[in-house]
């Protein structure tokens, strides 16, 4: 299960990367200057969990295509109207692996509506990191991204890890197509940020402060938010001075203050640039409206002059028209007689044509109905084949006249008992996940045994096992009215009961999946 989920997420991340590359502006392809901020919407499938009032529960992290060996764990505790998160991560590469503009990692909470909440920075030591955070969000998924500094307010698309529910994760787990804004990877390179020379004596906090100020300036914060930018510059200068005087604690505190100020200045700059763009658009719209009104007034004056000329010309032509009308009236009488004769002939022809058209329409409707019926049957057969393939990935399944027969062997139950083993519950959970997509399906659960023991004992055991499977499927969200459970005991063996293998085959629970939506047996005569 974990391997399948990891492969799915790797494929989704590769697709996300292709979408990002495909959305690069045409101006970048021709070497023109790009806009300061380019954000795009990337659709990602991410598991979200409703943690509220669940006590304590655990969640795993798995690496994406950018960090395949990355992994982590998190404990989420519901306390005092908030959620406390304790997380640890392994296999983290240097953030600069994804571009020298990246210096650190940030843990994000993503709501199903696509809102991103910065939960904190991952300080990496020997590829490992621990983080404690809290949030008042109730339902969210978590991702880890590479970032240029810790105080970013929206994630980059350098997503290196994402959460994955464990078998013991408590809470309502759902996989949603959460759309959230990502800063396109590579856009930072438009700022031509040079790599910092490696110096083990310079703390990461100071590097992040330098990076944050450079990015704020790239966003023109020195022009659109000079006061905030000046404060950020002053804070960085103090941090650089503390670094020269080797005051480590003061360096870290002041550098992180400079990062936050730089991010505030960058955000103010982006907002004011957008306001400036909107104001410019409004002015241009007003100018266009004024010009349109001037053209409309000039056109109205010209139309009035033209109307006077047309009135005079119409009066002159009216006299001539009267004479023509009198001549035309006589001609019309003659033409009417001819028209009446032609109309009678045309009416007869029209009746014949209409009859032919109706006959053709009826034939076409019959042909379309036949094609629709044939297409409906093909759709049923394709869905039946698709479900057969999907079920076979979970449990052995065969096609029959009764429907698709899913076989739960005896090894999925404790000997002589009806309780489901973990492997059986996992397989049934996957099976129910498939069936939930097709509410028209009907399921018949049938329990079978070998002839070992009394007939009465075998009948009761088969009924209990069938009921246990039905109850678990209902607990997974399937409608109880669509599932029946029957015990057949030893009455319907599929092999001889004289051998161990034969008896093992006879000890089984079969789920017969049927319904009009999947038609009849594949290859059967319709």
Positive or negative torsion for Cα 418, 424, 426, 427: negative
- CATH number of residue 467's parent domain: 3.30.1330.60
Which residue, 131, 160, 195, sits at the end of a domain?
195
Asked if the structure places residue 47 within a domain, the reply is yes
pTM exceeds 0.85, yes or no:
no
Cα(353)–Cα(135) distance, integer angstroms:
76
Asked whether 486 and 446 are in contact (CB, 8 A), the reply is yes
pLDDT in tens for each of the 526 residues of the chain? 444 444 444 344 433 333 333 333 333 333 333 333 334 445 567 788 888 766 788 999 999 999 999 999 999 998 777 899 999 999 999 998 888 889 999 999 998 888 889 999 999 999 999 999 999 998 899 999 999 999 998 888 889 999 998 988 887 776 655 555 565 544 566 666 777 777 888 998 888 998 889 998 998 989 998 999 999 999 899 998 988 999 889 888 998 998 999 989 999 998 999 999 999 999 999 999 999 999 999 999 999 899 988 988 898 888 888 888 888 888 888 888 888 888 988 888 898 888 889 888 888 888 888 887 778 888 899 999 999 999 999 999 999 999 999 998 877 787 888 888 898 899 999 999 999 999 999 999 999 999 988 999 999 999 999 999 999 999 999 998 999 999 999 999 999 999 989 999 999 999 999 998 888 777 665 5
Q: Is residue 361 part of a domain?
A: no
Asked whether residue 221 is assigned to any structural domain, the reply reads: no
Q: Are 205 and 252 in contact (CB under 8 A)?
A: yes
Domain boundary at 169, 195, 221, which? 195
CATH number of the domain encompassing residue 129: 2.60.40
171: tokens are 């809470």
Strands 139-147 and 159-164 turn out to be antiparallel
> Domain for residue 501, yes or no?
yes
Confirm whether 454 is domain-assigned. yes
Give a yes or no: residue 356 inside a domain.
no
430 lies in a domain? yes
Structurally, the chain folds into a number of domains equal to: 2
The answer to the question of residue 99 being in a domain is yes
Among 138, 170, 195, where does a domain finish?
195
Q: Which residues contact 374 (CB under 8 A, 6 or more apart)?
A: none
Domain range for 457 is: 382-518
Element (H, E) at 445: strand 442-448
């Amino acid at each position: 299960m974990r391997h399948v989920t990891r492969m799915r997420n790797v494929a989704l991340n590769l697709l996300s990367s292709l979408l990002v590359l495909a959305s690069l502006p045409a101006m970048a392809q021709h070497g023109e200057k790009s806009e300061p901020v380019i954000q795009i919407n990337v659709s990602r499938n991410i598991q979200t969990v409703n943690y509220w009032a669940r006590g304590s529960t655990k969640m795993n992290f798995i690496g994406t295509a950018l960090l395949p060996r990355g992994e982590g764990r998190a404990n989420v505790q519901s306390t005092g109207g908030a959620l406390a998160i304790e997380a640890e991560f392994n296999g983290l590469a240097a953030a600069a692996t994804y571009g020298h503009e990246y210096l650190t990692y940030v843990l994000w909470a993503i709501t199903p509506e696509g809102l991103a909440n910065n939960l904190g920075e991952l300080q990496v030591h020997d590829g490992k990191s621990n983080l404690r955070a809290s949030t008042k969000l109730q339902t969210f998924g978590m991702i880890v991204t590479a970032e240029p500094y810790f105080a970013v307010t929206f994630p980059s698309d350098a997503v290196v890890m994402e959460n994955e529910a464990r078998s013991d994760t408590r809470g309502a787990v759902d996989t949603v197509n959460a759309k959230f804004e990502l800063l396109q990877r590579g856009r930072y390179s438009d700022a031509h940020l040079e790599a910092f020379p490696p110096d083990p004596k310079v703390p990461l906090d100071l590097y992040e402060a330098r990076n944050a100020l450079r990015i704020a300036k790239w966003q023109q914060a020195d022009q659109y938010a000079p006061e905030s930018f000046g404060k950020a510059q002053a804070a960085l200068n103090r941090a650089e001075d503390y670094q020269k005087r080797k005051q480590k604690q003061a360096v870290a505190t002041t550098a992180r203050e400079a990062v936050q100020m730089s991010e505030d200045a960058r955000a103010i700059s982006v907002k004011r640039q957008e306001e400036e763009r909107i104001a410019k658009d409004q002015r241009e719209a007003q100018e266009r409206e004024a010009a349109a009104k001037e053209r409309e007034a000039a056109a109205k004056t010209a139309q009035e002059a033209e109307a006077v000329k047309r009135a005079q010309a119409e009066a002159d032509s009216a006299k001539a028209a009267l004479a023509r009308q009198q001549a035309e009236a006589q001609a019309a009488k003659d033409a009417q007689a001819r028209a009446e004769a032609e109309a009678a002939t045309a009416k007869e022809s029209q009746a014949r044509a209409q009859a032919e058209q109706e006959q053709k329409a009826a034939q076409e409707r019959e042909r379309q109905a036949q094609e629709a019926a044939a297409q409906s049957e093909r759709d049923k057969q394709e869905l039946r084949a698709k479900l057969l393939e999907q079920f076979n990935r979970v449990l052995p399944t065969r096609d029959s006249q009764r429907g698709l027969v899913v076989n739960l062997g005896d090894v999925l139950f404790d000997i002589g008992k009806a309780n489901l083993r973990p492997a059986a519950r996992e397989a049934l959970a996957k099976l129910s996940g498939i069936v939930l997509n097709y509410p028209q399906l009907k399921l018949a659960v049938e329990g079978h045994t070998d002839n070992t023991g009394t007939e009465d004992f075998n009948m009761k055991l088969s009924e209990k096992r069938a009921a246990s499977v039905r109850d678990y499927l209902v607990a997974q969200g399937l409608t109880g009215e669509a599932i029946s459970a029957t015990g057949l005991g030893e009455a319907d063996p599929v092999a001889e009961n004289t051998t161990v293998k034969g008896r093992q085959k006879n000890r089984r629970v079969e789920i017969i999946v049927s319904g009009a939506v999947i038609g009849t047996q594949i290859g059967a005569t319709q």
